[in-house]
Homo-oligomer: A and B are copies of this chain.
Amino acid sequence: MARRKGGIDRDALREKLIAVAEALVLQGGPEALTARALATHIGYSLGHVYNLVEDLDELVLLVNGRTLERLYDTLEEAAEKAKPGHKVHAIAAAYLSFCADNARMWSLVLGHKLPEGRALPDEYAARISALPVLVATELKAMFPKRSSDMLKRDVASLWSALHGLGTLEHNGRLPLIGAPSASVLAKHLLDTAFAGMKDK
């Protein structure tokens, strides 16, 4: 059994592959993420891409995982910096800014549909699950009397709403429904929702 250094080189190359993938999407959008472009930019043959990664789907998930990680950090930081009663607003604003500022990477996240029958990697699923927890933490602090069942639904519905706002803005559909910017809508939604949650 003659292994090499322990797959270290291969891991490094995988990292480079991910970095190149990110750069390609950043520059040309999701359509630019092709196997041949990857091969060219990492300086290896086309076939070798498939020795580093199972699929392009797997690669996309790896890239999207990084994006979700950055998003998490951004939201966490926004919540930290904001004043206590304003943290959810800050998270929402940061979320929408992130989508706008990272439009191409976000397209890759939104646009990727993994072939059915194939499950999301646990790590990836965890990255998604972690996001609304940031909201849950702040909501619990803001509405301590509220039941945890209610809070669960609050979090899920508000997070879904935020996702809807981000998606519609990302696709340029907000003007179609006669709406102002997503950030204005987010503030409005949170204000009315909080008003409805008051003392309950």
Binding site for B on A (CB under 8 A): 107, 111, 113, 120, 125, 128-129, 131-132, 152-165, 167-168, 171, 173-174, 176-180, 182, 184-186, 188-189, 191-198, 200
Instruction: State whether A156 and B178 are in contact (beta carbons under 8 Å apart), knowing that A194-B196, A196-B194, A196-B195 are contacts in the complex.
Output: yes
Give bound CA distance, A138 to B149, whole Å. 29
Given contacts A129-B178, A158-B189, 9 further A-B contacts (CB under 8 A): A128-B173, A132-B177, A156-B180, A157-B179, A157-B192, A160-B164, A160-B189, A164-B167, A193-B196
**Measured CA separation A168–B192 after assembly (Å):** 22
Residues of B within 8 A of A174 (CB): 156, 160
How many copies of the chain does the oligomer comprise? 2
Given contacts A132-B177, A192-B193, contact A161 B168 (CB under 8 A): no
Q: Are B192 and A131 in contact (CB under 8 A)?
A: no
Task: Kindly list the 5 A-B residue pairs having the minimum CB-CB distance in the complex, ordered from nearest.
Answer: A164-B164, A196-B196, A161-B161, A195-B196, A156-B179
A179 CB, min distance to chain B CBs, angstroms: 3
Q: Which residue of B lies closest to A29 (CB)?
A: B116
What CA separation (Å) do A195 and B146 show in the bound complex?
15
B residues in contact with A179, CB < 8 Å: 152-153, 156-157, 160
Q: Chain B contacts of A184 at CB under 8 A?
A: 153
